[in-house]
Amino acid sequence: MLSILELERKVVKTDLCTNCGACQGMCPYWRSYEGRTFVDYECDRKEGRCKYFCPRMPADLDALMGKFFNAADVIPQLGPVKELYLTRAADPEIRANAQHGGTVTALVELALAEGFIDAAVLSKAGAAGEADGSGTLDPAGCLVTDPAEVRKCGGSSFQIPPTMAVLNEALKDDVYKNIGVVGTPCKTLAAYKMMAKPFEDNENNADNIGMVFGLFCGWGLDWKGMEAFGDGAHVDILPSKYHRMDLDDKQIDLDEVLPLVRKNCNYCYDMTAEFADLSVGGARSSEGWDVDKGWNQLIVRSEKGQKLVELAREKGVLEFRSFGDADAKAAAFDKLKKAAASKKAKAVEALLEQGSDLGYLEPSRKAFEEYIK
């Protein structure tokens, strides 16, 4: 079967498509509109990169993990973990406009300034990526080379733009040799599938992916319906006990939001962006939301990620908060593992309900057997 038809049949038509954009930017036949990916023409490739880069096409995830990470660091629920920190941006201006503590913004800005990367693929509010940062909805992917521009891409709308299409365009041009990528778990997995270079003679300069920053993700929201809540400078989903979404000063009951959760998110096994150099989410500690809401939890997964975090500490770019004693940190770590395991279990259940196997997880079935009831 032609790659484009196989991808459409196995991913797009089964509601597995995440709209990450990995199939776009290098192929003229894949497009995206308002959070939906579609094909507008058939090409004749039987083994196209679109199929192999897609995070929802089957792949041996264990082998992929082993190719890029130290096996001794891998935890079944969370992927590779070298260290877990509580952090936030030291600059209050970053924190004011960023999600939670602004750790990602601060780290990407530092990575550009210090030469860890020479460009960054980010998401920015506004349908064309041209907004001034005053709103959150209709994000688009953008390529940033100036550290000063990173701050305009802070925050989240919980919508999923096809950011990886921007990466594919940048790789195709072969101008930047160390591109940083910021994305949700589906996007970071796509980046590593690219870096695995399934086509040695047509790998789209994948070695130019220099660093990957992962974002924790429970689910994304459909673009249609979000406009009913209005726009704003900041949107956040609070811990489950609050059962609400905050949009600036508006408090929206989560029952109004949940119908907008994308169907494909039900099939996602990864909460913490396991394929990344660094992964960042909202802090969850024993001190509670009133303290945690201004902080991030940061997972260091690679040596490159550790070097950037150490530099951020040395230069005072990040502030670090203690979990408390060893027992408190162990409890926070255990809480994170349980939340991640719950997402894996739900994804396995959803995939089995859809078919007779685990779909894109099937090549790594052994890693998920404990979640099969």
Residue spans of the domains in the chain: they are 59-347
Q: Tell me the residue ranges of DSSP E strands in the chain.
A: 30-33, 36-39, 74-75, 79-80, 83-89, 119-124, 140-144, 179-183, 209-215, 235-237, 244-247, 250-253, 278-282, 296-300, 318-321
Q: What is the pTM of this model?
A: 0.94
- Model pLDDT for residues 240-288, shown as the tens digit of each residue: 889 999 888 899 999 999 999 999 999 999 999 999 999 999 998 878 8
In the structure encoding, which two tokens stand for residue 48, read together? Answer: 């196209």
Percent of the chain with pLDDT over 90: 68
- Model pLDDT for residues 76-132, shown as the tens digit of each residue: 999 999 999 999 999 999 998 887 899 999 999 999 999 999 999 999 887 444 444
- Model pLDDT for residues 168-179, shown as the tens digit of each residue: 999 998 999 999
Q: Which helix (DSSP H) or strand (DSSP E) does residue 350 occupy? A: helix 326-354
In the structure encoding, which two tokens stand for residue 25, read together? Answer: 């930017």
Q: How far apart are CA 294 and CA 100, in angstroms?
A: 5
Q: Which candidate, 169, 171, 209, places its Cα nearest to that of 192?
A: 209
In the structure encoding, which two tokens stand for residue 218, read together? Answer: 């429970």
